[in-house]
Structure 1
């Protein structure tokens, strides 16, 4: 499989948006997990770029962070991925991948299309991330899973729902005009097309 130049450029742009959204961070006193817009970037990556480039854009940030680049809240290195929020971060690329895969099966038109898209974006752009994030938080802080839910899940539900609504409102009209294959100039046969 070959990558298109346009797809690589949009992946880099989405990676930059993820990094930028990480700086919009609101700490909450009782939890080591801040409120950020990073999950919105993951939703947009999968929804706008499709599974391949959505995955690549987010994986780029995760890998570069692991290598020491200060891309997540101005910090980097393996310590970030092994820290209390690491369980959330490592699943990000797969969340974008699944959003891209499942949205490709949906015609986002009318209320039903928007609602299905919203459910996909919420399930995989938000709830899936807690599947690895909350247990890792519990492990790192040696707390019970119920306490980890209180510190790493419940405070974020409303915000995640709002982000999923905004992501759906952004993704739906863009995909109508620029589906991921057109936006990234990617042809599934593996042929590179560049303008």
Structure 2
């Protein structure tokens, strides 16, 4: 009975999630810099953040945020500040240590699963565009008369599909050949990703309420 609506939701979500944005940039950076495990945990963080958007959309809180200049601005500036923060950290990447110096330098701290997960969760959870996307999805595309249980089922699918997509991105960019290619650029790749993240942060900061 709800297959047509579900397929519409799935198609719109596919087009949205495949569009490069902050989530994509963070997952790619984690995968290239810290490997498949970190990239996968970041992808799972992004996927779990979808439940946050789905929950407040079902509760109607998203509508309140979208109509409140203060709340929308607070969310926007938090998201922008976080993206600029991790972008600046990437911009400060230093060249690799020479081989003779590397022997006296301690092993670098490995990226923790928790740190990678939180990075993905915060990046998606604070994104005001995600807030507006899910608000539109649950108020315009999905019929308000659709049972809440069915709508919650849509939410589970959206979270799972998002996590799956970004896990695929993490798998692709964490392959040894791909990582080796980026590694040859060393700190320049980190700095390039830093520029992208800062740029995305500025773009978010300049976003206006619809």
What TM-score do the two structures reach when normalised by structure 2?
0.35
Greater relative CO, 1 or 2 (CA 8 Å, sep 6+): 2
Which one has the largest radius of gyration? 2
More helix by share: 2
